[in-house]
Structure 1
Amino acid sequence: MTRSSRSATPTSRTSPITTELRPVHLDGSPTALTTLQDAVAAALDGGPAVLPFTDPALRDAMAPDEPAEPGTAVVIATSGSTGAPKGVLLSARALTASAEATHARLGGPGHWLLATPAQYIGGLQVLVRSLLAGTTPALLTGSGFRPDDFAAAAATLGGSPRYTALVPTQLVRLLDDGGAGLAAAKTFDAIVVGAAATSPALRERAADARVRIVPAYGMSETASGCVYDGVPLDGVRVDVDGDRIRIAGDVLAHGYRLRPDLTAESFSDGWFTTSDRGVRHADGRIEVLGRADDMINTGGVKVSATAIERCLCAQPGVRDACVVGVPDPEWGEAVVALVVPEGAHGDLRAAVRAALGPTSTPKRVEFTGALPLRGPGKIDRAAVKARLRAEPGG
């Protein structure tokens, strides 16, 4: 990828001069990514807002012919957890605040490898961070994610410090490969791991392999990860209201594309109320407990799907797990688990019963080679639920 023709450091981080919305189609080619990087550089300098996309239907749902909302530099279009299209409005101020806080936490501006899709906030922020650092990002080529391709891209990355951002599934593949991909991963000063939770087992595997990871929590609405390893980035405030996580700071989006109703529901008085449950520990660290809608009402008792998943993933012989509630005539919702095994394992239902009690114990445990994913590496819970409902007894 070539350096943007514009200044590497934006000269303006205020409202865009125009209200034009510029769609950029990402077809997997280096040329498209160069076009996107140039468009983002222009947007940070006050040019047209940018809408990166791969799915034409999602682009059309963002009404690209209508003016961009004031102050918007980038629109991140997502189908969301419910499948309903939603566009997150991010200003130049939010994007640069996030990038600068990330560099401050990791050890200063550096050289980035883009390894995740740039239409999502994690990938797009790699471009923003590179622009602010005045460096040219390395590009992972090829379809899908292959450890050898990762190693080849990492070899083109010059200078230090060296950073990349991955989703947990990509990290697992590098650790499983044990070859050139893993060797390349060890050369990075930090690998930010986001988009989905990093399990304790995966943290331990990375540490044992001497891969320096930084688990991150955040979302499009916070211009990417805003809590690194439980600690908010500089300038980010995190509050737990009841058990719901709220976030404030310059990194916040200013609403949703053409949805003032959704904006009013989630953004108020400088705070963004997430859909996640969490707790603040005595040392100030934030622990994410899972999404509020991951709670399963079984027999009139609410149990946490995330807690059950963590219990399952802590068992020997379990690589990953997804727990959902499926309709049941007796229980209302029955707790059911889809598990990715790795080798021999014990009685998983008994393990959950011993740790969390009978109500949280899955009525069924099914096995699969891999969990279905959506977007930048999140588990597709709707697909899991559809599969488990289709199983006998589901």
Structure 2
Amino acid sequence: MNFSWILDSVAARVPSAGADRIAFSFDGRDRITYGELHAKTLRYARALRELGLRQGDRLALLLFNDAEYPPLILAAARLGVITVRLNFRLAPAELAFVLADSGTSVVVVHSSLTGRLAPVRDQAGVGTYVVLPDSDDPVPDWARPFEVFREAEPLTPDELPEVTGHDPMSLLYTSGTTGSPKGAVWTHGNTVAIATAQALRWQFSEETVSLVPGPLYHAGGFEAFVAPALLMHGTAVFLPSGNFTVDRLLAVLRAERVTDCLLFPFMLNELLHRDDLERELPPSLRRFILGGDMVMPSVAEEVKRRLPQVKLTQVYGLTEGGAIATTLEDRDFLAQPKSIGRPLPLAQARVVTPEGQEAAAGEVGEIEVRSPAVSQGYWNRPDATRATFHDGWCRTGDLGYVNADGFLHLAGRAKDMIRSGGENIYPAEVEKVLAAHPQVLETAVVAVPDSRYGEVGCAIVVPEAGQLPQPDALRAFCRERLAGYKVPKYFLISDELPRNASGKILKYRLREAFAHIESELDGEKTPS
């Protein structure tokens, strides 16, 4: 089954009034019905074909959250065109790598982001750029205006290719654990599978109004939250990118009568600082779904005390592993406060020892997940695919254990990944950039606690002999080559890095040594 079936099933519904239901709402203002969405995706599919895209080709979207974002994804899906959803925070060099690696033919870009692409167009190998107006900025002479989509005639059903559940729908690039991002292949079947599992677990229905505050380029946004709402013919609401405020969130929650809201833990913490929260939340709200990091037990207790009508769900997963693999449901929050829960419907999770055996209860090993939503592998990376996927299982790189009650727990991150405000940051990628600085001999980047984002990066730098690199200069060097959220918040100069007898850097010692850096620096903190 391909994902377009979801839209077609609404359009063909009896009674036909189903097409008048609201499918999407952007920022509580730009609303589109299922009937309008169905027609728009056929028009946009025609435009994509006239731009030269055919089944299996790649379309990249370099967009902020926008009312046109979902229709473009769904139009590409109708043609069997593979969507590459780009993180708008990426630096030009990072964008060039992803575009070239994916073999993208066409890019749709917000007008305010064209400056990211201009210096790297020669390296990217893209044939056509289309600019979606986001301001009064003129369209560059190397791009086409978005009117090519709006003025297109709809494709007829007999003009559409046969797209199956096995065909790729998306390429979702993950940060590189060894310095180079990899594109996880998501098929139409993967997307339908995660939508089905989520809808079953959270009992989505036609009355569901789900809200996504974060970026739609994340699998945790579109695949894991928007897709299940569409599957059940509910409504998906999303907010503009960046500049998150509690006031705006509350306004949209009320205006759209949201029932289920995805949040990162720092967003929930900011909500709970509102003295009037009990009055400001709409009575329609039934659930907060928390992703990106663990929710502190004290936070869960406060939610249950102040908002007894609102359920909490903690989710765990990774892009390659089907976006969400396990959930800790409301009924288990207080009894299992440090758990990441149990597998979704259709999913399995296990803990495996270094010898490849399933771990006993309480024994730490690597977490593996398996489900119909698990990625088919990495784009053009057979070695990386073999290293991560085997027999339908996905190696997560996370360490964990299953307790005596059958609940999965995290015990650490085997890859030293940093989780900052819902984004994954891999130290190896940042370290590779810093190593290129002429004044840097070696460096280690570790996670340190942060009151707003949960974790941020801290770079400990050993300078070349006779050199003394300044933190601001190192920060600027990183900003030219990395997305802003990957740039460490702290840069510290050291004579040496702690190592074991084999010469391996002991990052756990660095994490321990600088665990309180935020409070120690107090007002002298300099955000990246």
Over 3 Å counting, the alpha-carbon distance change for 1:185 and 1:78 in structure 2 is farther
Shift of 1:173: 1.8
**Which residue does the alignment assign to 1:269?**
391
Q: TM-score under structure 1 normalisation?
A: 0.69
Whole-angstrom CA distance in 1 between matches of 2:498 and 2:286: 53
Aligned to 2:370: 248
1:198-347 alignment, distance < 5 Å: 198-210=295-307, 211-229=310-328, 230-242=341-353, 243-294=365-416, 328=497, 333=506, 335-337=509-511
For 1:379, the equivalent position in structure 2 comes to none
Match among 137, 144, 169 for residue 266 of structure 2: 169
For the Cα contact (< 8 Å) 2:174–2:183, is it kept in 1? Answer: yes
- Tell me what 1:35 maps to: 71
- Equivalent residue of 2:516, what SS? strand
Match for residue 55 of structure 2?
18
The change in CA–CA distance for 1:321 and 1:369 in structure 2 (over 3 A counts) is farther
SS in 1 for 2:506: strand
Name the counterpart of 1:114. Answer: 212
CA distance in 1 between counterparts of 2:515 and 2:212 reads 39
1:105 aligns with 2:201: yes
Instruction: Give the corresponding residue for 2:32.
Output: 2
Q: Give the direction of change, closer, same or farther, for the CA distance of 1:238–1:364 in structure 2 (3 Å limit).
A: closer
Q: Would the alpha carbon gap of residues 142 and 247 (structure 1) be closer, same or farther in structure 2, given more than 3 Å must change?
A: closer
Cα separation, 2, equivalents of 1:318 and 1:141: 20
In the alignment, is the contact (CA less than 8 A) between 1:21 and 1:48 conserved in 2? yes
Residue number among 167, 171, 184 corresponding to 1:71 in the alignment: 167
Distance 1:113 1:181, change over 3 A: farther
SS in 2 for 1:131: helix
| Distance in 1 separating the partners of 2:278 and 2:102 | 37
- Give unmatched runs, 5+ long, in structure 2: 1-30, 40-53, 106-124, 126-165, 329-340, 354-364, 418-445, 461-495
In our comparison, the structure showing a higher alpha carbon Rg is 2
CA distance in 1, matches of 2:70, 2:499: 56
Tell me if the contact between 1:18 and 1:47 (Cα under 8 Å) persists in the aligned partners: yes
Kindly indicate whether the alpha-carbon contact (under 8 Å) linking 1:324 and 1:336 is maintained by their aligned counterparts in 2: no
When residues 325 and 288 of structure 1 are mapped into structure 2, their CA distance, relative to the original with a 3 A threshold, is farther
Equivalent pair of 1:168/1:197 in contact (CA under 8 Å): yes
Partner of 1:124: 222
Structure 1 residues 185 and 259: alpha-carbon distance in aligned structure 2, compared to 1, 3 A threshold: farther
- Greater mean deviation of Cα atoms: 93-102 or 131-140: 131-140
- Contact kept in structure 2, 1:218 and 1:226, CA below 8 Å: yes
Contact 1:147 1:174 in 2 (8 A): yes
Residue 148 of structure 1: CA displacement?
A: 1.0
Is this contact kept in 2: 1:174–1:185, CA < 8 A? no
Alignment-derived partner of residue 365 in structure 1: 516
Report the counterpart of residue 23 of structure 2 in structure 1.
none
My pick for the range that moved more, 77-86 or 249-258, is 77-86
Preserved contact between residue 130 and residue 136 of structure 1 (Cα < 8 Å): yes
Gap change, CA 1:328 and 1:238, over 3 Å in 2: same
Q: Residue deviations 1:168-206, cap 9 Å, x none?
A: 122222122344598338752222111223333333333
User: 2:253 aligned to 147, 154, 161, which one?
Assistant: 154
In the TM superposition, what whole-angstrom CA distance separates every residue of 1:5-60 from its partner, at most 9, and x where no partner exists?
Answer: 339xxxxxxxxx921222223134333x2434533xx52x5631211222443444
1:319 deviates by 9.7
Q: What SS does the aligned partner of 1:367 have?
A: helix
Whether the aligned pair in 1 keeps the contact of 2:226 and 2:236 (CA below 8 Å) is yes
CA change 1:333–1:266 in 2 (3 A) is: closer
Q: Distance in 1 between matches of 2:517 and 2:195?
A: 41
Whole-angstrom CA distance in 2 between matches of 1:188 and 1:52: 30
CA, structure 1 residues 135+321, in 2 after alignment: closer, same or farther (shift >3 Å)? closer
Q: How many angstroms does 1:365 deviate by?
A: 3.2
Q: Is the 8 A contact 1:141 1:153 kept in 2?
A: no
In structure 1, the partner of 2:120 is none
Aligned-partner SS, 1:141: coil
| In 2, Cα distance between equivalents of 1:111 and 1:155 | 11
Distance change in 2, residues 1:277/1:19 (3 Å)? same
- Output the TM-score relative to the length of structure 2: 0.53
Provide the residue aligned with 2:110 in structure 1. Answer: none
Amino acid at match of 1:85: P
- Kindly tell me the number of residue pairs found equivalent between the two proteins: 319
One-letter amino acid matched to 1:79: S
Task: Check whether the contact 1:325–1:333 (CA below 8 A) recurs between aligned residues.
Answer: no
Question: Which residue of the partner structure matches residue 51 of structure 1?
Answer: 84
1:138 matched to 2:237: yes
Q: What is the SS of the residue equivalent to 1:97?
A: helix
Partners of 2:178 and 2:517 lie apart in 1 by: 24
**Partners of 2:64 and 2:240 within 8 A in 1:** no
State whether residues 148 and 181 of structure 1, in contact with CA within 8 Å, keep that contact through their aligned partners in structure 2. no
- CA distance in 1 between counterparts of 2:320 and 2:180 reads 16
* Residue 256 of structure 1, CA deviation: 1.0
Residue from 280, 285, 289 that aligns with 1:192: 289
**Preserved contact between residue 347 and residue 369 of structure 2 (Cα < 8 Å):** yes
The CA deviation string for residues 76-128 of structure 1, in whole angstroms up to 9 with x for no partner, is 12324555212111111111111111111112332211211000111112221
> Relative to 1, partners in 2 of residues 1:107 and 1:330: Cα closer, same or farther, differing over 3 Å?
closer
8 Å contact from structure 2 (residues 317, 326) kept in 1: yes
Distance 1:187 1:172 in 2: 21
Q: Which structure has the highest strand share of the two?
A: 1
What's the CA shift string for 1:192-225, capped at 9, x where partnerless?
Answer: 1112233333333333332422000001112321
Secondary structure of the residue that 2:235 maps to in structure 1? Answer: coil
Asked whether the 8 Å contact 2:291–2:316 carries over to 1, the reply is: yes
Q: Is the 8 A contact 2:325 2:349 kept in 1?
A: no
Per-residue CA shift, 1:322-351, capped at 9, x if unaligned?
7989653587637245xxxxxxxxxxxxxx
Structure 1: stretches of 5+ with no match in the other structure: 8-16, 296-304, 338-360, 371-382, 388-394
3-state SS of the aligned residue for 2:320?
helix
Structure 1 distance, partners of 2:170, 2:235, is 20
